[in-house]
Homo-oligomer: A and B are copies of this chain.
Amino acid sequence: MTQIKAPAAKEPSVSSAVSTINDVARLAGVSIKTVSRVMNDEPNVREETRTKVKEAAARLHYRPNLLARSLAGSRSFLIGLLYDNPSSSYVIDLQQGVIERCRQSGYHVLSEPQDSLAPDIGRAIASLLATIRLDGVILTPPLCDMAVVLDAVEAAGVPYVRVSPSLFPGRSALVEMDDTQAAYEMTQFLLGQGHRDIGFVRGHPEHGSSHRRYDGFIKAMHEAGAEPHSRRIAQGFNSFASGLEAAKALFMDAGNLPTAIFASNDEMAFGVMAYAQQTGVRVPDQVSVVGFDDTPGSMIIWPHLTTIRQPVTDLAYAAADMLLSRASADEDAPNFSDTRRELPFELVMRESAKAV
């Protein structure tokens, strides 16, 4: 690859473009310690001095060097987002929310995708945390349910928050939504629409949320005295293809279709809808279809998908807030690891489901 000169800089000398705390101190006629005090909004500075320093800083376009602050101080102003998630919209929404909150506090976010299947993931994370002193880490599924990952983060002494963990309750601060209740309410919604014969597509058996969603479904069906026959339950793996396969099984007997299908996630619901369309089953006229997650796809298929909206952005806000308030609190503020926030989901009614 060819490479040559950097784009012409506006300043004669690149290095002269950035001013340091020394420049500000000199211009304001104070010590660098005083400049530091002003920049960090510390008390015990005469108002007149404060003004003088602020003016000097403004004139020089001074911005404290984050790296230098990190090295000298006890904070790095860096939060790590560790993920290994196949859903781009989930990751991007979460990341966006975390960045938004961090920015307000002068923090930056390091996105660090991880391969949860890698045998040395524990060492990889330990190495990462040794290389960059992070002030906090956010862990998403499936990483947040892996003991080796939690061990590594804890060994490094970095505070962390888990998003929607399924395992090790109480081991750390966490944010989550109630999958079971959401599936329960979605099922109740279907029942309320007059559906009694409802098929269910289970999610990937290794995801904790799959089981919670199934439980919520069964609970509602049970309460309604409408326990599904086992042939109304299909096993999926969270993919479009597995949804298609599940639909094939659930629609086996064309003369005896369920009136609704509840897929454990949107992706599988799309598979069900595609299969229905291919075989001439009309949605929602013959069969209602609902999903779970409210991915972007639910608004681009027709009929638009009725689904459960995960509060991804709010989960991100909450996780970031926990970390940030811990970072600015006393080193040993008590009970951080007991912090737990449950955020509300939302049942989004669209066109893929209707009353029977």
Contact = CB atoms under 8 A, between A and B. Distances in A.
B70 A67 contact: yes
B240 A300 contact: yes
A330 to B, nearest CB: 9
A14 to B, nearest CB: 4
A72 to B, nearest CB: 9
Interface in A1-30: 1-11, 14, 17-18
Given A111-B111, A155-B11, A157-B11, A326 B277 contact: no
A107 to B, nearest CB: 11
A332 B130 CA distance: 33
Contacts of A322: 1, 3
A22 to B, nearest CB: 15
A336 to B, nearest CB: 4
A169 to B, nearest CB: 14
A153 to B, nearest CB: 8
Contacts of A130: 18, 61-63
Given A4-B336, A64-B131, 11 more contacts: A3-B173, A7-B153, A9-B156, A10-B155, A17-B155, A18-B133, A66-B132, A67-B71, A71-B71, A111-B111, A240-B300
A256 interface: no
Interface of A: 1-11, 14, 17-18, 61-68, 70-71, 76, 88-89, 91-93, 95-96, 99, 108-113, 126-127, 130-133, 151, 153-160, 171-173, 240, 267, 270-271, 273-274, 277-278, 296-297, 299-302, 321-322, 325-326, 329, 332-339
Copies of chain A in the complex: 2
A111 B109 contact: yes
Contacts of A338: 2, 4
Contacts of A7: 153-154, 159-160, 171-172, 336-337
B10 A154 contact: yes
Given A68-B71, A277-B302, A278-B302, A335 B5 contact: yes
Nearest to A321: B1
Given A67-B76, A88-B93, A127-B63, A4 B337 contact: yes
B325 A1 contact: yes
Given A5-B333, A96-B113, A300-B267, A67 B157 contact: no
Contacts of A108: 110, 112, 132
26 contacts: A2-B335, A3-B325, A3-B326, A4-B337, A5-B337, A6-B337, A7-B153, A7-B172, A7-B336, A7-B337, A9-B155, A17-B157, A61-B126, A62-B130, A63-B131, A65-B131, A66-B131, A67-B133, A88-B89, A92-B92, A95-B111, A96-B113, A99-B112, A108-B110, A297-B297, A300-B300
Contacts of A111: 95, 99, 109, 111
Contact of A339 (B1, B61, B99, B339): B1
A297 B266 CA distance: 12
In order of increasing CB-CB distance, the 10 nearest A-B pairs are A4-B335, A4-B334, A14-B157, A274-B302, A63-B130, A88-B92, A270-B300, A9-B157, A10-B155, A4-B336
B302 A339 contact: no
Nearest to A304: B274
Contacts of A70: 67
Contact of A8 (B64, B154, B274, B300): B154
